[in-house]
């Protein structure tokens, strides 16, 4: 499933921009639309902020914007936890926090 990031990971150029593209691709592999939410036709976008250590392990997650549906919010957080460890960040971005919108849309 391709990760719908809604343009939040903008191209920062150079190393950071390349790394954000890597993260987008990596996280997308773990993004799962809960079947119960699909059956109930629930949609929404949850924004989760996550922080990585220097090896790419997720050390914290925080829901910063709810999708409006608890099941989707939990799935968004689960996506990031499942994606850990991620590709190790370049030294220049180690320990950075990244907000990521995770969209759940029927038909995608």
Which tens digit of pLDDT belongs to each residue from 25-45? Answer: 999 999 999 999 999 999 999
pLDDT for the residue 39: 96
Which tens digit of pLDDT belongs to each residue from 93-106? Answer: 756 888 999 999 99
Which tens digit of pLDDT belongs to each residue from 72-101? Answer: 999 999 999 999 999 998 887 756 888 999
Contact 14, 70 (CB under 8 A): no
Q: What CATH number belongs to 14-104? A: 3.30.1150.10
* Tokens 């968004």, residue located: 76
pLDDT for the residue 97: 86
Domain boundaries, the chain: 14-104
CA dist 106 and 41 (Å) reads 7
CA dist 74 and 65 (Å) reads 12
């Amino acid at each position: 499933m391709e990760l719908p990031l809604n343009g939040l990971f903008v191209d920062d150029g150079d190393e950071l921009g390349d790394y954000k593209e890597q993260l987008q691709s990596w996280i997308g592999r773990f993004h799962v639309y809960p079947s119960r939410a699909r059956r109930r036709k629930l949609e929404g976008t949850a924004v989760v902020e996550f922080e990585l250590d220097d090896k790419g392990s997720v050390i914290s997650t925080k829901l910063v914007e709810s999708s409006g549906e608890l099941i989707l919010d939990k799935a968004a957080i689960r996506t990031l936890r499942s994606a850990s460890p991620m590709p190790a960040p370049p030294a220049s971005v180690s320990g950075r926090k990244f907000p990521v919108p995770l969209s759940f849309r029927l038909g995608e």
